[in-house]
Amino acid sequence: MLHSKVGSIYRVILACLIACAFVFALSWPQYTKHRNATHARQAAELARALAFAQESYRASHGAYTPDFRQLEVTLSCPMAQGKTGLVLDCHDYTYRLENGIIWVEHKTLPVWLEVDIANGAVQCKYKAEDWAGQELCGRLSAI
């Protein structure tokens, strides 16, 4: 009699674990999409702040600066030497200045933001065949 009670308790625990794993497996992709969209929004906000600071810097110094540390913006990421010059190297994104545009590139997804310094407009772009980039840009433009 003791074995049947112990066996049924194990079956209940196993059923609960399977149910929790199933719920986790179904909710993980939605969590990942939400997290990526949140990080993209934060990246766009920082890029807009950098664009505004670049415009102020140009007004007083006559040119834009590729070193974002010289701007009056609080940076939580370090500057690093990238392939094309100085970049702001954050967790998911890298920021760089090129021809009056701040390029914000995602490190793992083929998604990037272009911020025109003159007007502060943010454009989200992705490779045409990439559904993750399309989803991320869709969530970013919906806000």
Q: Report the distance separating Cα 93 and Cα 7, nearest Å.
A: 51
pLDDT by residue (tens digit) across 91-114?
A: 889 999 988 889 998 888 888 888
Model confidence over 33-92: pLDDT tens digits?
888 888 888 888 888 889 999 998 999 989 998 888 888 888 888 988 878 788 888 888
Q: Which domain holds residue 99?
A: 2-141
Q: How many domains does the chain have?
A: 1
The pTM for the full model equals: 0.78
The partner residues of 89 in beta bridges, in order of sequence, read 94
Tell me how far apart the alpha carbons of residues 7 and 100 are, in angstroms, rounded to a whole number: 69
Lowest mean per-residue pLDDT among 15-19, 71-75, 102-106, 137-141: 137-141
